[in-house]
Amino acid sequence: MSGWKRFAKFHTWIYRASGGRILGEVGLGRKILLLTTQGRRSGIERTSPLVYMPDGDRFVVYGSNGGQELPPAWFFNLQSRPEATVEVGKRSLQVNAHVAEDAEAARLLPLAHTYNPHWAGYQKNCARRIPLVVLSPATPA
């Protein structure tokens, strides 16, 4: 298991055990959520701690993979199955994911790059267009 995967498992465990009070933010007001997706090939649930930007009742995450050319696995999982679970503090909710495009992306991208300057830096150093992923609470059926 890679160092990053080990850290993500540890981060997730601490986050859940503390209800997000520990490892629930990375400074400057930037908060962390836990995103649980279903593996596109394995079907196994995978949880990733991610910095998010609030947008009303929605959560915006950045598919940067630390600025690498390959998107993160959770992004591929959401492309295959856009339904996921988000944990914010002690709250857990079902969400539907979509990539911000056109007018929505034009509105969110400058806000996202101001909210988290690391995201802007990742895009400058990456040839691919890094997607903004919007996680919207699922509406009851």
138 touches 83 (CB < 8 A): yes
pLDDT in tens, 66-83: 888 889 999 999 999 999
The residue written with tokens 């903004």 in the block is: 132
d(CA 41, CA 108): 31
Range of the domain at 53: 3-137
> Domain of 21: which CATH number?
2.30.110.10
Per the confidence metrics, is the pTM higher than 0.85? yes
12 touches 49 (CB < 8 A): yes
pLDDT in tens, 47-65: 999 999 999 999 999 999 8
Structurally, the chain folds into a number of domains equal to 1
d(CA 64, CA 59): 15
The first and second tokens of residue 66, run together, are 């630390």
